[in-house]
Amino acid sequence: MTQKVLIANRGEIALRALRACKELDLKTVAIYSAGDKELKHLRLADETVCVGPSSPIESYLNIPAILSAAELTGADAIYPGYGFLAEDADFAEKCESSGFIFIGPSSSVIRQMGDKITAKDLAEQSNIPIVPGYRGSLPTEEHAVKEVAAGVGYPLIIKASAGGGGRGMRVVQEESELCSAIQLTQQEAKNAFGNDTLYLEKFIQNPRHIEIQIVADGKGKAIHLGTRDCSMQRRHQKIIEEAPAQDVNLVELEKTMEACLDLCRGLSYSGVGTIEFLYEDNKFYFIEMNTRIQVEHPVSEMITGFDLVKAQLKIALGIKIDLNQDEIIFRGHAIECRINAEDPETFVPSPGLISKMHPPGGFGVRFDSHIYSGYIVPPYYDSLLAKIITTANTRESCIKRMLSALDEFFVDGIKTNHSLHQRLLSDETFCQNKHDINYLEGVFLSS
């Protein structure tokens, strides 16, 4: 019998998932909020259900409403995408206990990886290199906590175990700042996450962000799709991503990849996942594992020809999939530019009517987007409008192809960060691949 998938997301990733479902002959249910009636994928889905008003809390984060929609439409499985409920272990657990297949790893794996201390303990047990630090409970007396911090060394970063999305972190340059910084972060963590457990890590000063894409079948088999470099970031939000990461120490990479696969095999990991690292002076430092599809997944798809979203669906729905590492052939380079509805200088969001738009096209150009001429970008959600992805044999020709694609791309009516991408793709430091995670904010935008 044809299986039915409820897509519990919006925007480009909902459209991406819908396309994959169609290719696998799966029926689709698209959910939407009252402020999202004009989403492109709603016109292409077999069924649509409004799950609440525009506010994300009342719609895309509304677990009872989403489960009711699944019940009502007789869906077999729920596709979470990224953001919203994608890494919410309680949601995955409720899907499981209500008899729906959650398209992703089990709720217990999501829970383990969502707790940063547990994730680091597990990573360390699989010999994944981690940032040196202190993950025991922090002593309350001032002299004792200072001693622990001195053991880690300055500068250090205080992190909330339950933190996420770049929140719940504070850098401490020297001992005199330590105690007040701990107090503040503890308070913030308690308010934001309801859990004030903290840990300390050495602050890596000028790293690149490199991540490894994993696919695993839930039965102890795991393969990798290589690396991505996502060092071009602003406020921990990635802006440009590419695959593969270049100028990486191959001996360290090989060891690190093997350790990542060991971790996934050990967890009987099911679906796709990304293990993120900071990389400095030829060394990898694990920061976290994301148990979902990433925004930047297309660059890995373009250099391997492997469809990650179809893999997610197949693994979860028990459709036969061959995961053989030696059949993954890496070819060329791919770059993704995230086009956001925002002012290119102030970064203030810019929702509103797209009066006209032209997508880029041509050989080696991919355009993943839900926007069209006449679409109104609602003000309630993430500002991602489109992902332009180019592929070519070398990084240099990939950059040229992206510049040409950016020239073709045109959006009228709202502001976008289009021109920021044009400037970045022509920037010498970027072209020479010499940027790190601090470059965009610390150098490029402040000069």
The residues that are catalytic are 292
The DSSP bridge partners found for residue 290 are 274
Minimum distance, C-beta of residue 204 to ligand ADP, in the bound complex (Å): 4
Nearer to ligand ADP, 202 or 265 (CB): 202
Minimum distance, C-beta of residue 209 to ligand ADP, in the bound complex (Å): 5
DSSP alpha helix (H) spans, 203-335: 250-266, 297-304, 308-317
Distances (CA, A) of 430 to 232, 392, 395, 405, 423: 9, 17, 11, 18, 10
Minimum distance, C-beta of residue 87 to ligand ADP, in the bound complex (Å): 10
Other CB atoms within 10 Å distance of the CB of residue 373: 13
Nearer to ligand ADP, 232 or 420 (CB): 232
Question: Of 49-57, 80-88, 200-208, 249-257, which segment contacts ligand ADP by CB under 6 A?
Answer: 200-208
Q: Does 113 bind ligand ADP (CB under 6 A)?
A: no
DSSP state of 387: E
From 316, 395, 425, select the one nearest 5 (Cα to Cα): 316
Burial 304-332 (b: 16+ CB within 10 A, else e): bebbbbbbbbbbbbeeeeebeeeebeeeb
Nearer to ligand ADP, 160 or 267 (CB): 160
Q: Does 219 bind ligand ADP (CB under 6 A)?
A: no
H/E segment holding residue 425: helix 418-425
Among 2, 141, 165, 432, binds ligand ADP (CB under 6 A): 165
Q: Does 336 bind ligand ADP (CB under 6 A)?
A: no
Distances (CA, A) of 84 to 39, 129, 349: 17, 29, 19
Minimum distance, C-beta of residue 245 to ligand ADP, in the bound complex (Å): 14
Among 211, 242, 288, 296, binds ligand ADP (CB under 6 A): 288
Q: Does 122 bind ligand ADP (CB under 6 A)?
A: no
Among 164, 349, 351, 352, binds ligand ADP (CB under 6 A): 164
Among 64, 139, 153, 166, binds ligand ADP (CB under 6 A): 166
Among 60, 100, 199, 203, binds ligand ADP (CB under 6 A): 203
Question: Of 87-95, 102-110, 201-209, 355-363, which segment contacts ligand ADP by CB under 6 A?
Answer: 201-209
Which amino acid type is present at position 146? K
Minimum distance, C-beta of residue 238 to ligand ADP, in the bound complex (Å): 9
Structure-token match 């956001």, residue found: 340
Among 437, 439, 440, 444, binds ligand ADP (CB under 6 A): 437
Q: Which of residues 247-276 bind ligand ADP (CB under 6 A)?
A: 276
Q: Does 153 bind ligand ADP (CB under 6 A)?
A: no
Nearer to ligand ADP, 38 or 115 (CB): 115
Nearer to ligand ADP, 51 or 278 (CB): 278
Q: Does 313 bind ligand ADP (CB under 6 A)?
A: no
The token duo for 45 is 């889905």
* Nearby residues of 107 by Cβ (< 8 Å), 6 or more positions away: 89, 90, 92, 93, 96
Q: Does 204 bind ligand ADP (CB under 6 A)?
A: yes
Nearer to ligand ADP, 357 or 424 (CB): 424
Strand extents, DSSP E, 381-444: 384-392, 410-412
DSSP state of 42: G
DSSP state of 316: H
C-alpha span between 3 and 77 (Å, rounded): 8
Among 4, 209, 314, 387, binds ligand ADP (CB under 6 A): 209
C-alpha span between 240 and 387 (Å, rounded): 10
Q: Which residue ranges make up the site for ligand ADP (CB under 6 A)?
A: 131, 157, 163-167, 169, 201, 203-204, 209, 236, 276, 278, 287-288, 437
